[in-house]
Every structure is written in structure tokens, then in C-alpha cells.
Amino acid sequence: MIPTLALITSMIHPMNNQSTPSSIAIPVVATIAGAPAPFGPVPSARQMRWHAMESCMFIHFGVNTFTGAEWGGGKEKPALFNPTELDCRQWARAAKDAGLRGMIITAKHHDGFCLWASAVTDHSVKFGPWRDGKGDVLRELSTACHAEGLAFGVYLSPWDRNNPKYGTGEAYNEYFASQLKDVLSNYGEISEVWFDGACGEGPDGRRQVYDFPKFIDVVRTCQPGACIFSDGGPDVRWVGNESGIGSETNWNRMNAKDFYPGITGRNEDLAHGQRDGTDWLPAEVDVSIRPGWFWRAAEDDRVKSAQTLEKIWFESVGRGCNLLLNIPVDSRGLVAPQELASLKQWGDQQRAMFANDLASKAQVAATSVRFASNSAAFAATNVTDGNSATYWATDDSVTSGTLEFRFSNPIAPRVIRIEEAVQLGQRVDAFHVELRGADGVWRKAVEGTTIGVRRILRLDGEGVSGMRVVIDQSRACPCISRVSIY
Ligand code: FUL
């Protein structure tokens, strides 16, 4: 039987579309008759929006920016915080220039100093000289983000080395929950809430037992669309290192009940994911452009180059993770010139690299198509139609297959990008790519294990007239939504 194509919701690839975060469309596939049943856990709508973000800017900013410390002790005077030229629009433009789609700022780091006028503490911008105590960094940054079409997210450290209630149990959890509510209620749409698992000692060596279920409830109530990051989710997991490296084998699946904020000794699982995990729990790669998380003049000559950023991008976004690149603003309240230069050059490199998708001009065919070859709903051409809601699929009984691309003129491919229709779960276990050279011979160019949300690999071809993406092994019929060649 040939299925009828009822409705396919279109989605422009975010790569080619600088849309505002809330308007990032997510693929909907349930309306295609005869579509494969989902395999294993699938992403929620908020996770699908998060996947489409790909890379964001992390901003560490606070009293440490003025003391040079990485972890403030909590006794810093609010008077220290006095950026002379703070301009959040400059941060937002720098992010956009580099192709980053959102920002996450340390609203409160471990020192407890609040970048907004928190009503429940006197350890905030309200009690310092900056803008005569009337300033609010979260207000200025959220306004800049929304004006520039960037998502806005917050890091709020549960570990608080200033608050006397820290370590007392319920009283501190109430304090933290009220700050969280404040931050999530007053700045418009929040894309991500970043929970650091660090749980150090408070006064007299007291350690706090965090009430994460309560904190998660606050986020779900105030910002139902926001993804929650921690070492163990519930929406986004830590990748297990701070070096900017995602795992080549990357399952978006985990047994979420076994993971929690602050977990130790499970970094390998966090990196690879768990092939048979029961929950969709993708990995985020956080890394700083400098050796430290906060700005200090002494590290001005150790800012990562555009080449290094590109390598990090291939090893994070290219392996199906999201990248959270820390750009610590300086004591003027500006992205420093060294960062601006790297970000601009990296952005220019990316724009040049991805300007022209050669796959969209190729002829494409598959070894087999679901419901026989004349089925438009699951055709091979769906991988090059610029619509992530459509995909190539085989019959349920077929768990391998090949997509073949023919080019009218020889090409010199440098990058291939492959995506699974993860709305139906993650399936592929092994794949490889072959190129047909000027001599007409097919040769293996690259191989890999998982594809998932995306796999982006470098190629090194000359005079190439054909390309094959071979799905060697899939756990259920392969569903491939995109192949791009640059
Ligand atoms: C860690 C913190 O202790 C660091 O200071 C930094 O904020 C990093 C992103 O997370 O756990």
C-alpha cells in the first residue's frame, strides 16, 4: 500500500535561518501515515528546541571579574562590582557574529553575589556603586538578547558561600527557590536553567542538602519551555569534561534515575550516553575561551584562536552535542578585544564554510525506500529538501541502506553533515561515507558509530563525482532527515 501524505510541517534548517528562539520551529512527523513507530525514548518539545540552538555563549561575570578569583569566598564587598562601560548589546552582537544563538549568564556564582537586585539578600548589585545601585545585569542582558533574537538563559549556583542559611537545610532551600522564582519570573522567556552540582561547605563546615525536586518544580511552573541542565538533567546532561569534547559515540539516552546534580565517577557514561537508556537526555559541552571561567588581565594572551574554536565546534556540535562557549566579559563590562577578534574570525570561517550546500544540487537515490520506491513520504530526496520534518526511511524489516548522491560537475567536499529524524528516536549504530574519485573508483572516506541529532565530519575529496552515505547498522529502520555537503 502506498501511504497518503497527510501533512508535513515544514522547518527551515536553523543553520540557514537566524530566527528568534521561541520561533524556532520543531519538526512534527506524527501526521505522516505509515510513519515508523518511535524507537526508544524521544525528545520533548523543549529538548527539540534546545537541539536546534546548537551553540550558545556562556558568560561568567561577577565579583570574581574584579578580584581575579575563580571561586569567590562570599565575603567580597558589593562595592567591588563596578563595570565602567557595561554594554550587553556588545555581548549580544559578539555572540551573533560568531553564530552563537543564545546566552547563559552567571546570575549568581558560588560567592553568592547577585547580578540582579534580589529582595532576599544584601549581597547584590543593589548595594554597590554600579548605576548607583539601580542597575540590573539580567534586565540589560535579557533586553539585549531579545532585541538581537538570541535566547536568554541563567546559571544560578545552589552553592552559596555568602548566605548564612547555607547548610541549614529547608531554610536555605526556600531561600534558593525564592531567588530562582524571582529570576524566572521577571525577564521574559528563559531558554535554559543551568544548575551547577557543586556543593561545598558553608559556615562551620555545614553542607547543604539541595532540594532539587523543589527547584525543578519552580522552573517547570515559571518557565515550562526552559530546559534544565545539570550533571544528570532532567533535560540536558553534562558531557563529563570541560575541555570542549563530545564523544564520537554519543547516545542521547540515559537511565535518568541513576544520575543527579553533583554525581561523581560517572563521566564516561555522561560522555557516551547509555545505548539502552530509558530517557532522552542529550549532552551539553561547556568550555571556556580562556584557561579560567572568569576574566583576568593576566590571561589576555591565552584566549583560544578561531582555529581552536573551530576544532571544538567539530568535536562538540559535530558530535551531536550543544556547545556552551564561555566568553567571560572583562572588568569594563565588555567582551575583551582578544575574544572579539577570535569570535569574528571564527564566525567568518563558518559563514564561508557553510555558504553552499552541494547536496541540495545533487541527484539522490536510495537502495530502498519505505513502501516501495514511489513513496514520496519517505523518499531519498527528503534528506536534501531543507525540511527537518521530512526524512528518508526504509521498511521496518530493513536496518541498513545507502543514500547515493551524483554531482553533475566534480566537487571537492570538505564537510558532511548527517542528521537522524530523532523525533522518532536514535537508531544508527554504524555508518560510513564513500567518495567516487576522478578515476571512477569508490573509496571509504570516513566512518562513524552514532549519528543522532547530527554528525558533522571533515572530508578531503578532490574531483568527486559521487558520494554514498552507507548506514551499516541501525537498531530499527533508519530515518535520515538531512545530508548536507560543503
Ligand atoms: C563549575 C564551577 O565550579 C565553575 O566555577 C564554573 O562555573 C563551571 C562552569 O562549573 O562547576
List, for residues 463-473, the tens digit of each pLDDT value. Answer: 999 999 999 99
List, for residues 340-369, the tens digit of each pLDDT value. Answer: 999 999 999 999 999 999 999 999 999 999
Here the CATH number for the domain that contains residue 385 is 2.60.120.260
Q: What is the DSSP string of 363-378?
A: EEEES--TTSTT-GGG
Cell output for 484 = 548536507
pLDDT of residue 197 exceeding 90: no
Tell me, yes or no, whether 214 and 96 share the same domain: yes
70 alpha carbon – ligand 1 mean position (Å): 9
Atom of ligand 1 nearest to the CA of 293: 6
Burial status of residue 375 (CB atoms within 10 A of its CB: 0-12, 13-18, 19 or more): middle
Atom of ligand 1 nearest to the CA of 157: 7
Tell me, yes or no, whether 88 and 209 share the same domain: yes
286 pocket-lining for ligand 1 (C-beta < 6 Å): yes
5 pocket-lining for ligand 1 (C-beta < 6 Å): no
Residue nearest to atom 6 of ligand 1 (CA): 293
pLDDT of residue 292 exceeding 80: yes
Atom of ligand 1 nearest to the CA of 194: 9
Closest listed residue to residue 419, CA positions, set 396, 390, 460: 390
CA distance 323 to 312: 8
Tell me, yes or no, whether 310 and 426 share the same domain: no
CA distance 126 to 116: 7
CA distance 69 to 83: 16
> Which stretches does DSSP call E strand in 126-170?
151-156
Here the CATH number for the domain that contains residue 127 is 3.20.20.80
CA distance 295 to 60: 8
199 pocket-lining for ligand 1 (C-beta < 6 Å): no
111 pocket-lining for ligand 1 (C-beta < 6 Å): no
Residue nearest to atom 4 of ligand 1 (CA): 293
Tell me, yes or no, whether 220 and 99 share the same domain: yes
CA distance 108 to 116: 9
Tell me, yes or no, whether 206 and 257 share the same domain: yes
The average pLDDT across 90-100 equals 98
287 alpha carbon – ligand 1 mean position (Å): 10
195 pocket-lining for ligand 1 (C-beta < 6 Å): no
Given 324, 353, 382, the domain boundary residue is 353
Tell me, yes or no, whether 322 and 376 share the same domain: no
Tell me, yes or no, whether 252 and 380 share the same domain: no
Tell me, yes or no, whether 107 and 154 share the same domain: yes
Closest listed residue to residue 135, CA positions, set 61, 241, 246, 53: 61
CB atoms within 10 A of CB 258: 13
The average pLDDT across 209-214 equals 96
CB atoms within 10 A of CB 376: 14
Domain count, the chain: 2
Q: What is the DSSP string of 187-244?
A: SS---EEE------B-GGG-B----HHHHHHHHHHH-TTPEEEETT-SSEEE-S-SSS
List, for residues 417-474, the tens digit of each pLDDT value. Answer: 999 999 999 999 999 999 999 999 999 999 999 999 999 999 999 999 999 999 999 9
196 pocket-lining for ligand 1 (C-beta < 6 Å): yes
Residue nearest to atom 10 of ligand 1 (CA): 196
Tell me, yes or no, whether 72 and 89 share the same domain: yes
196 alpha carbon – ligand 1 mean position (Å): 7
Closest listed residue to residue 333, CA positions, set 87, 78, 76, 67: 87
Given 293, 328, 353, the domain boundary residue is 353
| Ligand 1 pocket mutation pick from 58, 192, 293, 324 by most atoms within 8 angstroms of CB | 293
List, for residues 359-401, the tens digit of each pLDDT value. Answer: 999 999 999 999 875 578 999 999 999 999 999 999 999 999 9
Using alpha carbons, list the distances in angstroms from residue 410 to 94, 170, 177: 37, 67, 60
Tell me, yes or no, whether 448 and 330 share the same domain: no
CB atoms within 10 A of CB 435: 24
Give residue 456's Cα distance to chain centre: 15
Given 353, 388, 417, the domain boundary residue is 353
Domain ranges, residue 453: 5-39+357-485
Tell me, yes or no, whether 461 and 331 share the same domain: no
Atom of ligand 1 nearest to the CA of 294: 5
Tell me, yes or no, whether 65 and 167 share the same domain: yes
The average pLDDT across 276-297 equals 98
pLDDT score at 31: 62
